Amino acid sequence: MVCSVPNDIQREGLPLIHGRDVSRSFQGKEVIAAVRGLSFGIDEGRITAIIGESGSGKSTMLKLIYGLLGPDDGEVRYRGWRVPNPREKLIPGHDAMRMVSQGFDDLNTYANVWDNVASQLPNTDLEAKFHHTARILDRLRIAHLKTQRIADLSGGEKQRVAIARALVNEPEVLLMDEPFNQVDASFRETLQADIRHIVADTGLTVVLVSHDPAEVLSMADELMVLKSGKLVAMGKPEELYNRPPNAYTARLLAKSNILNVEEASLLGIKSNRAVAIHPEWVVLRIQPDAAFEVLAIRFKGFYEELSVGSGSFQLNAINTIPGQYPIGCKVDVTLSTYEVLPGEG
Ligand SMILES: Nc1ncnc2c1ncn2[C@@H]1O[C@H](COP(=O)(O)OP(=O)(O)OP(=O)(O)O)[C@@H](O)[C@H]1O
C-alpha cells in the first residue's frame, strides 16, 4: 500500500520501515529533545520491541513511525516511501499501519464488541464484513463476548477488542504502545502467543513499546533500546541479554551488576573496561571466613534476590533454594561468567 508524499521518490533496498537521523523536540518551558538522531531498520513479518526507561522517547518514536508526528530532522520511510507527516495528510497515520494506544481511547464504551470491530469495515460488502469480523474475533478469542458492551469488559478483554479492531482491516503493520501494561502475567502470555501466531500466519509486522523488558523478552524477534532519545542497542533479545553492549542495556534487560575496572579486579577479573555480571552469574558458597556477607534478601516467590557485600562493594545475586543463605551468613563469591562492556570506560 502506497501512502505517498508529493514529489517523493521511492528508495530501493531499505528495510520495511527505515529511519535515518530522525530527531524530534518538543517546546515546553524549555526544549525537550525527545528523540535524537535515530537511525534504524525494522524488517517485515517480525515483532520489534522498543524498550527503554520512562521518558526515553519510545512513544515519540512509535508516533514518528506511524506519522502522527513529523520529524524535525531526518526521515522515516515505509517500503522506501517517506511517511507523510501530519501536515501532509488529512487523517494522520499511515494507511498501511494501525496503532493501539494505551487507554483504549478508540473504543466506543457503550457499543458492543461486535459493533466496535465491524464498524471499521465498509458496508459495501456485508458478507465480507461479517466474515472478517467473525474471523478476527475468533483469532483473538473474544467471539463469546461479541454481544457484550465494552464498558462491561475487563482490561484484558478490552485490550483484545482494541487489537481485533486494529487488525480487522488487515493492516500491514500493527503498532502497540505498552500493550501489556495493565494485564497480569498469564493473560500477557496467552495474548503474546496469539499475536505471535497471527504474525506467523499472516506476515503482519508488529512494533511495540514497553518500559518493562521482562514482558517482551520472550515475544520480540528484535529489540531497540532507547536511552535519553538515542538508540543505544539493537539486536535479538538473547544476544542483547547475554552480550549487552553497554551498562544501560545490561541493567535494563538483566538488572546486571556493573563493575568498574577496580571493582572487577577485586573478583579477579582483568579488564580495561567495565564489566556486567548478571545476578544469576554470581555463584555463592557458604564459607565462615569468606570476605562477602549476605546483607539483604528479597523474596520473589520461587527464588530470592540477595545483596551480598564486602565493605562498600555490593553485588546482587539470585538464590533458587530459598532460605539457603540467611542474612549475615559469610559467602565466597565466584562467577560463572561475565561480560566486558565494549561501550563503557
Ligand atoms: N507532546 C509533548 N509535549 C511536550 N513534551 C513531550 C511531548 N511528548 C513527549 N514529550 C517529552 O519527550 C520525552 C520523551 O517522551 P516519550 O513519551 O516519547 O517517552 P517514553 O519513553 O514513551 O516514556 P514513558 O515510558 O514514560 O511513556 C519526555 O521527556 C516527554 O516528557
Residue where one domain finishes, among candidates 200, 234, 250: 250
* Residue corresponding to grid cell 493492516: 171
Is residue 34 located within the same domain as residue 79? yes
Atom of ligand 1 nearest to the CA of 60: 18
Domain tally, the chain: 2
For residue 322, what pLDDT is reported? 86
With a cut of 80, say whether residue 2 has pLDDT above it: no
**What CA–CA distance (Å, rounded) separates 90 from 111?**
27
| pLDDT tens column, 142-169 | 999 999 999 999 988 999 999 999 999 9
* Ligand 1 centroid – CA 42 distance (Å): 22
Q: Could you tell me if residue 28 is inside a domain?
A: yes
For residue 345, what pLDDT is reported? 64
Strands 292-299 and 304-310: antiparallel
Residue 316, domain CATH = 2.40.50.140
Is residue 21 located within the same domain as residue 166? yes
* Ligand 1 centroid – CA 31 distance (Å): 12
Is residue 149 located within the same domain as residue 28? yes
Cα atoms in the Cβ-side hemisphere of radius 13 Å centred on 153: 26
With a 6 A CB cut-off, is 279 part of the ligand 1 pocket?
no
pTM to 2 decimal places: 0.92
| pLDDT tens column, 237-259 | 999 999 999 999 999 999 999 99
Q: State the pLDDT confidence band at 112, using cuts at 50, 70 and 90.
A: very high
Q: State the pLDDT confidence band at 218, using cuts at 50, 70 and 90.
A: confident
Is residue 245 located within the same domain as residue 271? no
For residue 89, what pLDDT is reported? 87
For residue 318, what pLDDT is reported? 96
Residue 217 has a CB neighbour count (10 Å cut-off) of: 18
With a 6 A CB cut-off, is 101 part of the ligand 1 pocket?
no
Q: What is the largest CA-CA distance in the chain?
A: 81
Residue 60, domain CATH = 3.40.50.300
Is residue 276 located within the same domain as residue 228? no
Cell numbers linked to 264: 572487577
With a 6 A CB cut-off, is 63 part of the ligand 1 pocket?
no
Residue where one domain finishes, among candidates 209, 230, 250: 250
Residue where one domain finishes, among candidates 216, 250, 284: 250
Residue 86 has a CB neighbour count (10 Å cut-off) of: 14
Instruction: Name, in order, each residue with C-beta under 8 angstroms of 210's C-beta and a sequence gap of 6 or more.
Output: 49, 50, 51, 58, 178, 179, 180, 216
Runs of H (alpha helix) within 14-139: 58-66, 113-118, 126-139
With a cut of 80, say whether residue 130 has pLDDT above it: yes
Q: Could you tell me if residue 320 is inside a domain?
A: yes
Is residue 224 located within the same domain as residue 276? no
For residue 107, what pLDDT is reported? 92
Is residue 41 located within the same domain as residue 184? yes
Q: Could you tell me if residue 239 is inside a domain?
A: yes
With a 6 A CB cut-off, is 33 part of the ligand 1 pocket?
no
* Domain enclosing residue 230, as ranges: 17-250
Q: Could you tell me if residue 5 is inside a domain?
A: no
With a 6 A CB cut-off, is 31 part of the ligand 1 pocket?
no
Is residue 183 located within the same domain as residue 222? yes
Is residue 191 located within the same domain as residue 302? no
Report the sign of the C-alpha dihedral through residues 281, 286, 287, 291, in that order.
Answer: positive
Is residue 47 located within the same domain as residue 25? yes
